Structures are given as C-alpha cells and as structure tokens.
Chains A and B, each alone.
Chain A
Amino acid sequence: MEKKLPTIEIIEKYCKGCHICVEFCPTKVLEMKGFVASVKNLEACIKCMQCELRCPDFAIKVTP
C-alpha cells in the first residue's frame, strides 16, 4: 500500500529564513532555497510537526 504523504505548505511571504525548521527536522525534509525554506524530500516526513511547532513566523502548515 502506498504511504499517504502529508502536505507541507510554506508561506514564502512570511518566511524570514531563520533555518529553525531545517535544523530541527529530524528526517531532513526541508532545505533552504535562497532565503526561504522549501520542501526537499517529502517522502521522509514522519509528521512530527516540529517544523510547524517551532516556526516563529507562522510560515509552515503541515496537514498530515
């Protein structure tokens, strides 16, 4: 059975590029693309929601 992937929405207008989400993601799903965060490897996401919890800029929304 295929794994149901979550959706990670990054609001680029809000992101200030602080790296917190990239550093605290335990499975390295996110990366920095220029000044804003972006999704690199969605398959690795374990839906721990750390990025959404820690983002100080309300820029990440994870829907499992």
Chain B
Amino acid sequence: MAFDYDKYIRPGKLPHIWCPGCGHGIVMKGLIRAIDAVGLEKNNTAIVSGIGCASRLPGYMDCCTLHTAHGRAAAFATGVKMARPEMNVILVGGDGDGTAIGGNHFIHACRRNIDMTYIIMNNNIYGMTGGQFSPCTPTGAKASTTPYGNPDPAFDVAKLAIGAGATFVARGTAYHATQIDKLIVEAIQHKGFSVVEILDDCPTTYGRRNKFRSVIEMMNRLKEVAVPVKAAEKMTPEQLEGKILTGVLHKVEKPEYTAEYAKVIERAQAAK
C-alpha cells in the first residue's frame, strides 16, 4: 500500500518551493515516514528550523512548527524543550544554517546533550541566497563567491558533532532513501542530542557550477561516494580515499539535559 504523506502535510501547501531534483523533498518524505513509524503525535511534535532552503521544510508539515532567525534553530528549540520537556523536538536545516551562522548554537546544543534530533541537509552550498560557498563546500569546488575554486577545507559535520559531544550521530544520503527514515527513527528514539547529516544535492547552484550535467549525475555521485560503516571496516585506507561513511557513526549514553535540569530545580526547592 502506498504511504499516505498527506496526513502530515498542511493542506494547500504543495507544490513546495524546492527546485526540480532537489533532494530536500526526499529527506522530507523520509522524515514523514520516520514520524509515522515512531508514532509521534502531531500536536506533541515541534519542528524547528532557521533560514535557508532546507529550513522551509516546517512550513509544509502539519505539526507544531517554528521558523526562526538564521542559524538560531538550536537556540529556539532549546527554549521549546526546556519549557515543554515532554515535547518531541526535531530541528531541520541546511549546512550553512547549521554549521556556519548557527555553528556556535550547534556545538553548544551538542555539548548540552539536550534531547532533540537535528537533521542537517548538507548540500555543500548556500542555495537560497545565490550559491555562496559554505563551510561544507569541498576544497576546489566552485561557488558564486569562489569562481576559481574554493581554497578552504570543508567541515565534516558528523565529526564536528561527535567532537562537540552529541550522543548520537548518523549520516545518510538523499540517494539512499529508505535508509533516511531508519536513521531518523533511531535518532528520535535516542535520549539525548542526535545529529543526522544527510548528504543532499543542489542541482541549481552547486551542480551547474561543478560540471554535474544532471540531477541523475548528482544522485549517482552520492551513491558512489557513500560507504556503509560496516563495509568500511574491511576496506583499506586507499580504498576509502574520497569515500564518505554512512550509517550510525556514534552512539553513547550520557545524562540528558532536561532531566539534569529538573534535578537542579528539585535541589533548589529542597534548600528553601
């Protein structure tokens, strides 16, 4: 039976604004399937985003949604979670929103280990504002602000999240569509700050400047570079050159922030 996406989409909001072939729609479908699989109640789920192409996603979702200032999704979501700890909070955003402008908020949300799920759609570029390079643009890639190639090395979002203290980190791609919902399900069920980086394609501002002739070519590149974590264990460093690991990369248990904060309140009230 076909999956009924309409149940989770605000009536009259489609078609969405994303360009032809943009992977954000595929990620949104994965998120909807994951929300349905976990059985989250729409009225008890907050989807928070900043600014950017990917951050338009909450506008289409029939849940509690919050569209905030550029890069500040994690800050606003922390507020939501602190006020209503029983709420399921999901953040969505792109690589520019999450790791450049919102970089500080992102690392500190990881450090606190507050129970939220952050879905970062990494399309290697600032799409909405006109194709400027982001911290995730690969070295040598062309963007509207680096027409002769980007000299900066790129961020590894997953490693950044692990280093900052996130307790669940996973990576998927827009090509591996069925893997997206499995990763998001695991991230939502994990108690603590979970980061799911999804490698995406931006045919309009990244693809056409970097010699990808079509959307299909970009999708096939995602298929080629992705290596599941288990398969990578048997591969040599030479074979892993230029590849990107996918799957669950990091999972540990640590005290969760809202639970710890409730203890602080308890202690303060007992001291009165």
Residues of A that sit less than 8 Å from B by CB? 13-14, 16-20, 23-24, 49, 52-59, 61-64
Contact = CB atoms under 8 A, between A and B. Distances in A.
A39 B177 CA distance: 22
Looking at chain A's contact residues, the main secondary structure is loop
B99 to A, nearest CB: 23
Contacts of B2: 49, 52, 61-64
B1 A63 contact: yes
A17 B15 CA distance: 13
Contacts of A49: 2
B215 A19 contact: yes
B22 interface: yes
Interface stretch (B23-31, B65-73, B233-241, B259-267): B23-31
B45 to A, nearest CB: 19
Interface residues of B, number: 25
Nearest to A16: B20
B15 A19 contact: no
A20 B29 contact: no
Nearest to B26: A56
Given A20-B21, A49-B2, A57 B216 contact: no
Given A56-B23, A58-B9, A63-B1, 5 more contacts: A20-B215, A20-B216, A24-B219, A61-B2, A64-B1
Contacts of A56: 18, 21-26, 29
Contacts of A61: 2
Contacts of A18: 20-21, 203, 215
A58 B25 contact: yes
B144 interface: no
B29 A13 contact: no
Given A56-B22, A58-B25, A23 B14 contact: no
Contact of B19 (A16, A23, A53, A55): A16
Contact of A53 (B21, B22, B178, B215): B178
